[in-house]
Amino acid sequence: MGWRWGVAVVLGLVVCGLPQTPDLNTHAQTAGPATVFEGARLIAGDGRTPVEDSALVVEHGRFTQVGRRGTIQLPPAAARVDLAGKTVIPALVDGHSHIGYQKGASTSARNYTRDNILDHMHRFAYYGVGASQAMGSDFGDMPYQLRQDILAGTYPDAARFLTSGRGLAPLSEIGPDNMRHAAYVVTTEEGARAEVRELASRGVTLVKTWVRAEPKMSPTLYAALIDEAHRNNIRVAVHATDPQDAKGLLRAGVDVFAHMIDDVDDELVDLFKQHPNVVVLPTLAAPRLATTYAPWLNPLDPLVAVTQPAAQIRQLRDRLEGTTPEARTRADEGWEKLALGIKRLKAAGVALGLGTDGGGQNGGFVGWTAHAELENLVAAGLTPMEVIVAATRTTAAILRIDELGAVAPGKSADFVVLDANPLDAITNTRRISRVYLRGRHVDREKLAAAWKSRAIE
């Protein structure tokens, strides 16, 4: 019998050891008793009228019941958390970032380490952002591993890190030390197709490309790239802001615009209507920063200084103060066009999501910029409720992370407790009382103390 047992054990090990397709969307369950959060105004992320005096039951990291207090059956021995006077929103979901490059006042590939990415994911969590999608600036095996480790619960205070792996770019996009150095250089159709298949083997569901710098990627090349992505059940996000390029990309089947298109004319609106699943992450932080509006800089939200070093804040201020009046006027005119375009896309029923470009080379603040973007979207013509839905349910759907983006039974218990109602003023999303990710309280005080003790970096 001995050898049979031996064979059985070996077979068992082999079966258990088979590489499994990682579940990229679902976090590991957490242990512990049920908790009920009572008394808050709930803005659930679904666009419906808020629930006053709500009760949320969280078990094993998920919402199991959500409703008005008194209308739901509480589990026995549930711990209770009083949220009277507070407002709850789902954790924000950022659809566009470049994580790991910023450190102190420098932005460089030299800063791209596991520790730095993790630090950024702690900043996102600190500001109530539950997940951020890095767009084509990652490289090597490390980001895929870190993505899994966060979902497994290794870093309970970190937001979930989503990666598109390496982007696909024409040579004109690659600089000696820009984040696009991570990208595959696309020169032939066969090469682009092989690179997309390589990303598919890593479990990537959204790839990033650029049709921007001259000479641009040709329509034949991006058509092949998009075709191969769709054959592999991958969607394609693009940085393209020129309306003519946008039209070509829509005709070729692109899925996500990661930036707002400069100008929206009738033909573009018609093309969006013909491709109703195409979404736009306006990502307005950089274009609005250059305008006379940039309202959040003066006075600067004190929260920024918790995560951002003084040198970086100074650097951004200096840059803005150095803007010439002519450049400022051009930026204002550009902004008016963008805002008009957003209103047209909204009227045409195009889904709009949240993109921060955080960590990119535009001088944003990782995590905090999400709140500036909510304000930008309101300034562009969305209501605060529309903006909250865009930044939660819609962006989670764009990223296909089913368990994020809403306070509802079955969803991951990722939510933000606010001291004020963001429907009164969208800037109230910055008045964060507490953040919960995967059902656990994020220790924001501990994070802030750690940044302070090393004078941030």
Give the residues lining the site for Zn ion (CB under 5 A): 357, 360
For Zn ion, the closer of residues 183 and 387 by Cβ is 183
- Give min distance, CB of 49 to Zn ion, in A: 35
For Zn ion, the closer of residues 357 and 414 by Cβ is 357
- Give min distance, CB of 272 to Zn ion, in A: 21
For Zn ion, the closer of residues 143 and 360 by Cβ is 360
Residue type, 257: F
For Zn ion, the closer of residues 149 and 262 by Cβ is 262
For Zn ion, the closer of residues 44 and 260 by Cβ is 260
- Give min distance, CB of 258 to Zn ion, in A: 6
Contact 279, 398 (CB under 8 A): yes
For Zn ion, the closer of residues 45 and 360 by Cβ is 360
- Give min distance, CB of 223 to Zn ion, in A: 22
- Give min distance, CB of 108 to Zn ion, in A: 16
Nearest to 279 by CA among 381, 398, 373, 164: 398
- Give min distance, CB of 57 to Zn ion, in A: 38
CA separation for the pair 364, 350 (Å, rounded): 26
- Give min distance, CB of 231 to Zn ion, in A: 25
- Give min distance, CB of 101 to Zn ion, in A: 11
- Give min distance, CB of 441 to Zn ion, in A: 31
Contact 355, 283 (CB under 8 A): yes
CA separation for the pair 334, 330 (Å, rounded): 6
Q: How many CA atoms lie within 13 A of 244 on its CB side?
A: 4
For Zn ion, the closer of residues 42 and 338 by Cβ is 338
- Give min distance, CB of 259 to Zn ion, in A: 7
For Zn ion, the closer of residues 136 and 248 by Cβ is 136
- Give min distance, CB of 228 to Zn ion, in A: 22
Contacts with 73 (C-beta within 8 Å, 6 or more apart), sequence order = 65
For Zn ion, the closer of residues 360 and 384 by Cβ is 360
Cα 129 to chain centroid, rounded? 8
For Zn ion, the closer of residues 248 and 360 by Cβ is 360
For Zn ion, the closer of residues 133 and 412 by Cβ is 133
Q: In this structure, what are the phi and psi dihedrals at residue 35, rounded to the nearest 5 degrees?
A: -125, 140
